[in-house]
A and B are shown apart, each in its own frame.
Chain A
């Protein structure tokens, strides 16, 4: 009994202490806010925001609510994080593998790349890409087309917009493709395990991806038109592109900076993962007659991934949190739109900052959950 109390008592005291501190600050804040006539509440979220945002994935204008403005900022944060995570992964894998190349030039260039971008503060890199882009890019009227119909200008990258008819039928066909690929690959795996036969899953899938959606155009009544960006004169010397979709230079600079910076850390994770696999593994694989490609795909990578995933998850989380630096260059992310303009217009500092913090926390936890699930999936299953 005595022993039990000894064990539990310190824990209770600790909990009470923490709660006490929390209570102290909460009540203090409450009283200070009362004294200064600030009231606490989330009612402002439904009020009209009355400010516009430069770039939004959903329909938004100042006549929408603050809650909608929050959503605009959140989606912009997710967009820039998502694109950057994809790019930094591709770059990271390339440079991570390149650092282990037997070619002197490739190996050392990769090492230089990693050391260079890893050791310059991210905010400086964001400013560099932004102002470098602003200085280097042509004004709209002087921009020549890239790939025929896209224009890279100081005011943004203009691409054609898609104007769909019967988009839903097209999306169903994509869904059908995904389901059939899953069925085929499961069947192929069984066939391989039971009868040792292999069927070309890759080519069948490729065929499905092209054929089925294409069919909807011919018999499903689906059609796609493009809204081509057209040059428009604003004044004697300034022009802008009208129609199409304009990706703001802020987004481009941010994606560049975030993916280059984070890719160096991913590259190091990849290198560590590959180097963590013993040489004996490769030699053993070669001795049972696997080709170099098969060795990488079937022996090295599955094991290396287990080392690579956890630290890479950290880098993805860092990237997402770092995306909040967007505010410095006017990219309307969550921090700029919600914790910036909305906070200023409403003055609800405590409410808005807590919502923003909770949002970043949720995004991070969601990414961690996805990566943990993937990590579980690829870890060694003891039989």
Chain B
């Protein structure tokens, strides 16, 4: 018996060594970019339907500011902003889908936190929406501020989000006892709150504004003015592919910087003859910026032409549908907001 065990162990060790070598070798060659170009589409994880951020219409077309990040990457690496395969994910599934390699970009109103960035094999590449957690209540409750919350209040929310943790911090620090009712899907949270199961619905304020439009009578609900947390939302990639990480980061940065320099989808071509070298670099008329990623020099021009700059994306997806007409902190740093990206040079 002992002999058999010994043999088995050595066999297992051999198998281990063999596979260790083969996967190691594969990992070094494996570039998400290469795979993406071979497949011909970008695999992008989005929400299950959050108007303004990632939402599918009746014919399956995805729109939203989160969707536009993936489209920008597709325009940069494949030349066509429509070559994206969207995978709707619940809050619970999203990180596993990314780390297991089912998707290559997670652009799903995901809060950048230390533990997520450091712990679970993910890398956040930037912020495409500065948000904060808030509360929604029924108008007729007479509540106009979180200071009016009392012991025993029930709060509907999603599981697997920073919301659950912030909510606890908030209620605990104020010494208010509360009943958390946490659902897996956002639609069920809205349905339960709308049916009267909970006194308040809490999530990121952008989410509250978007979900309010889905309720039976949106006018019967208000979002309280207080913001109880910082929620910088941004796209995420897997750890271990620095080039891919850079491509996604700079695709997003390009959209923001294009707005800063006044480059839009309609005037991008004419900007090639601009006197400003920064603008010329952004539209690919100067420098060799794309080469660093293994892309051609028009990668950023394609993003601007096909997807538009950040301001266009915001207007199209969030402001025009009336979700959050005021850009608040999501305004350029030159216009009083906090959108500030490193220069593309």
Q: Does A103 contact B (CB under 8 A)?
A: no
Minimal beta-carbon separation of B325 from chain A (angstroms): 28
Chain A 1-38 interface 0/1 with B at a Cβ cutoff of 8 Å (1 = within):
00000000000000010011001100110011101111
Determine if B121 and A234 form an interchain contact, defined as CB atoms under 8 angstroms apart.
no
Give residues of chain B (138-169) contacting chain A, Cβ–Cβ below 8 Å: 138, 140-143, 148, 150-154, 156, 159-161, 164-165, 167-168
A50-58, A295-303, A358-366, A371-379 - interface stretch: A50-58
Chain B residues, CB < 8 A from A131 = 191, 195
Q: Does B60 contact A (CB under 8 A)?
A: no
Provide the bound-state CA to CA distance between A336 and B158, in Å: 11
Chain A 235-250 interface 0/1 with B at a Cβ cutoff of 8 Å (1 = within):
1111010100000111
Chain B residues, CB < 8 A from A242 = 151-152
Chain A residues, CB < 8 A from B8 = 16, 19
Determine if B141 and A236 form an interchain contact, defined as CB atoms under 8 angstroms apart.
yes
Determine if A19 and B95 form an interchain contact, defined as CB atoms under 8 angstroms apart.
no
Minimal beta-carbon separation of A311 from chain B (angstroms): 32
Interface size class of chain B, counting residues whose CB lies under 8 Å from the partner chain = 35 or more
Give residues of chain A (335-383) contacting chain B, Cβ–Cβ below 8 Å: 336, 340-341, 343-347, 349
Determine if A341 and B164 form an interchain contact, defined as CB atoms under 8 angstroms apart.
yes
Give residues of chain A (204-247) contacting chain B, Cβ–Cβ below 8 Å: 232-238, 240, 242
Provide the bound-state CA to CA distance between A33 and B101, in Å: 12
Chain A residues, CB < 8 A from B199 = 234-235, 238, 240
Minimal beta-carbon separation of B200 from chain A (angstroms): 9
Q: A27-B20, A28-B23 given as contacts; is B182 within 8 A of A336 (CB)?
A: yes
Q: Does A106 contact B (CB under 8 A)?
A: no
* Residue from the list A27, A234, A237, A248 in contact with B152, Cβ < 8 A: A234
B10-18, B205-213, B253-261, B262-270 - interface stretch: B10-18
Q: Does A62 contact B (CB under 8 A)?
A: yes
Chain A residues, CB < 8 A from B24 = 31
Determine if B239 and A36 form an interchain contact, defined as CB atoms under 8 angstroms apart.
yes
Q: Does B275 contact A (CB under 8 A)?
A: no
Q: Does A201 contact B (CB under 8 A)?
A: no
Provide the bound-state CA to CA distance between A340 and B178, in Å: 20
Q: Does B215 contact A (CB under 8 A)?
A: no
Determine if B197 and A347 form an interchain contact, defined as CB atoms under 8 angstroms apart.
no
Determine if A347 and B15 form an interchain contact, defined as CB atoms under 8 angstroms apart.
no
Q: Does A332 contact B (CB under 8 A)?
A: yes
Q: Does A139 contact B (CB under 8 A)?
A: yes
Q: Does A188 contact B (CB under 8 A)?
A: no
Provide the bound-state CA to CA distance between A36 and B154, in Å: 39
Q: Does B273 contact A (CB under 8 A)?
A: no
Provide the bound-state CA to CA distance between A328 and B158, in Å: 11
Chain B residues, CB < 8 A from A78 = none
Provide the bound-state CA to CA distance between A24 and B156, in Å: 43
Determine if A31 and B184 form an interchain contact, defined as CB atoms under 8 angstroms apart.
no
Provide the bound-state CA to CA distance between A32 and B185, in Å: 29
Chain B 174-187 interface 0/1 with A at a Cβ cutoff of 8 Å (1 = within):
00001111111100
Determine if A341 and B182 form an interchain contact, defined as CB atoms under 8 angstroms apart.
yes
Minimal beta-carbon separation of A273 from chain B (angstroms): 39
Q: Does B116 contact A (CB under 8 A)?
A: yes
Chain A residues, CB < 8 A from B192 = 134, 330
Chain B residues, CB < 8 A from A62 = 165, 168, 172
Chain B residues, CB < 8 A from A345 = 115, 160, 164-165
Provide the bound-state CA to CA distance between A139 and B199, in Å: 11
Q: A36-B238, A37-B121 given as contacts; is B95 within 8 A of A344 (CB)?
A: yes
Q: A37-B240, A154-B197 given as contacts; is B150 within 8 A of A340 (CB)?
A: no
Hey, which bits of chain A sit against chain B, CB under 8 A? 16, 19-20, 23-24, 27-28, 31-33, 35-38, 50-54, 62, 131, 134-135, 139, 154-155, 232-238, 240, 242, 248-250, 327-330, 332, 336, 340-341, 343-347, 349
Hey, which bits of chain B sit against chain A, CB under 8 A? 8, 11-12, 15-16, 19-20, 23-24, 27, 91-92, 95-96, 99, 115-116, 119-121, 137-138, 140-143, 148, 150-154, 156, 159-161, 164-165, 167-168, 172, 178-185, 188, 191-192, 195-197, 199, 238-240
Q: Name 12 extra pairs, CB < 8 A, besides A16-B8, A35-B240, A154-B197.
A: A37-B239, A54-B179, A54-B181, A62-B168, A234-B199, A236-B142, A328-B185, A330-B183, A336-B182, A340-B160, A347-B115, A349-B95
